Amino acid sequence: MPRSPQAFRFAAPLSAIVLVAAVSGCSMFGEKDELYTQSTESRPLEVPPDLDRPSADRAMSLPAAGGAVSASAMNNAGGGSAAPIGFNASGDRDAIFAKVGEVLGATAGVTVVSRAPILGTYDLDYMDAKFLVRVTKVGDGAYVSAVDPRGLPPTGEAPVKLVAALKAAIAP
């Protein structure tokens, strides 16, 4: 069936009218709601009553008094010294780190759990104690020390004994 040019003349303006009506949407019909005309920033904020203020019931409560505790008593609670355990050694940090590894490998009872050359640490088990031996660069040399897993000076005799053995072998 051939299409006539007259059908195209009516179809083009009719489709334009339908397109304009479809694009304009429902704004031509119905009422506007004021709630949706405001931006979200200008609408009032509604906060539930239980979230209005934080509870301050226990904000300033103190623990029950049980006696005085000093920092030195807390540090010495595990027994042994809480002073830093370590020594200075002359030489390159990496060379001293390697020497420490050799001495640890030759020491009876020492288990090297892990080693981190970039950090300069050995994670050790020795005499039922877990601690780190750390080698840090200090000036022209290095400082070899023992620390507990929290980075504090360790307590007990195992770290003291091992650091003494390291000092005797590395920095006599």
Residue-by-residue pLDDT tens, the chain, 172 positions: 566 667 677 787 888 888 777 777 655 555 666 666 667 677 677 777 777 666 666 666 666 666 555 555 554 444 444 678 899 999 999 999 999 999 999 999 999 999 999 999 999 999 988 999 999 999 889 999 999 888 888 888 999 999 999 999 998 7
CA distance 93 to 120: 8
CA distance 146 to 153: 7
Q: Are 153 and 147 in contact (CB under 8 A)?
A: yes
| 79 Rama sector, left if φ>0, alpha if ψ -120 to 50, beta otherwise | left
**102: which 2 tokens?**
């050799």
CA distance 118 to 113: 16
